[in-house]
């Protein structure tokens, strides 16, 4: 069976299982809409689906996915601000109480910062300008650990990019106001897909610390 047919079969299984068995849940979704308390900014990488990794149910997390799980700085200029629009919806309309920026190891987007820059050539029109959001993290890593291997620098840059995204979240006035009023909390998380661990940023230690249960 090809992979497209797998998806159709997967939907049938979902309909017969999760949908039919939880008909009240889905009726409630239709009648009252969604009410997630948590938004997650995750990478588009097929290996790091937050709903699968966090074992969540439908309606539990509002997921925003893009290349390298980045949050751009607030920008009022015209454009197709997909990530910012989704964030605005999550914060202003859904009134989520938490935003998690979920980074991950072996991120292709972050890795592209370490290779030769191919700006404006076919296949590289949109990725370099998007990845420039993480450039401060890349510069920081190069400056603070110049003698580390490229792999070590990449792992540090993946975590650094989460921090840049958390900083950029605070450039959105709707986020800033709610954080100051303690109506919204921001979290930086990082999944190591080799070790199978989840690390959470601890502001007190200024470190990503492996969650005790993983
Ligand atoms: Zn990634």
The 3-state DSSP class for residue 100 equals: strand
184-214: pLDDT as tens digits: 999 999 999 999 999 999 999 999 999 876 5
35-59: pLDDT as tens digits: 999 999 999 999 999 999 999 999 9
> What number of other Cβ atoms are within 10 A of residue 140's Cβ?
16
DSSP string, 135-177: HHHHHHHHHH-TTS-HHHHHHHHHHHHHHHHHHHHTTSHHHHH
- Rounded to the nearest angstrom, the distance between the alpha carbon of 103 and the centre of ligand 1 is 7
Task: Tell me the fold of 34-210.
Answer: Beta-carbonic Anhydrase; Chain A (3.40.1050)
- Rounded to the nearest angstrom, the distance between the alpha carbon of 25 and the centre of ligand 1 is 32
- Rounded to the nearest angstrom, the distance between the alpha carbon of 21 and the centre of ligand 1 is 34
The 3-state DSSP class for residue 83 equals: helix
Q: Are 95 and 145 a contacting pair, CB within 8 Å?
A: no
In the chain, % of residues over pLDDT 90: 90
Domains of the chain by residue range: 1-33, 34-210
- Rounded to the nearest angstrom, the distance between the alpha carbon of 106 and the centre of ligand 1 is 7
pLDDT at 37 (0 to 100)? 98
Which residues lie closer than 8 Å to 69 by C-beta, 6 or more apart?
Answer: 41, 42, 43, 101, 102, 103, 104, 107, 161, 162, 165
- Rounded to the nearest angstrom, the distance between the alpha carbon of 33 and the centre of ligand 1 is 30
- Rounded to the nearest angstrom, the distance between the alpha carbon of 105 and the centre of ligand 1 is 7
Token pair 């404006």 is found at 120
- Rounded to the nearest angstrom, the distance between the alpha carbon of 16 and the centre of ligand 1 is 32
- Rounded to the nearest angstrom, the distance between the alpha carbon of 55 and the centre of ligand 1 is 19
H/E segment holding residue 180: helix 173-180
């Amino acid at each position: 069976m090809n992979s497209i047919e797998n998806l159709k079969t997967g939907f049938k299984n979902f309909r017969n299982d999760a949908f039919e068995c939880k008909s009240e849940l889905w009726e409630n979704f239709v009648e009252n809409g969604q009410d997630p308390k948590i938004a997650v900014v995750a990478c588009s990488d097929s290996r790091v689906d937050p709903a699968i990794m966090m074992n969540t149910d439908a309606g539990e997390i509002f997921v925003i996915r893009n290349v390298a799980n980045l949050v751009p700085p607030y920008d009022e200029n015209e454009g197709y601000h997909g990530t910012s629009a989704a964030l605005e919806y999550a914060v202003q309309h859904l009134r989520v109480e938490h935003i998690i920026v979920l980074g991950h190891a072996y991120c292709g987007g972050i890795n592209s910062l370490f290779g030769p820059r191919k700006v404006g050539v076919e296949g590289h029109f949109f990725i370099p300008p998007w990845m420039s959001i993480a450039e401060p993290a890349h510069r920081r890593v190069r400056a603070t650990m110049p003698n580390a291997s490229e792999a070590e620098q990449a792992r540090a840059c993946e975590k650094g990019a989460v921090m840049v995204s958390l900083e950029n979240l605070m450039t959105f006035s709707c986020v800033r106001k709610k954080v100051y009023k303690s109506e919204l909390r921001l979290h930086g998380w990082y999944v190591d897909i080799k070790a199978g661990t989840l690390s959470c940023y601890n502001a007190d230690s200024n470190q990503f610390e492996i969650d005790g249960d993983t």
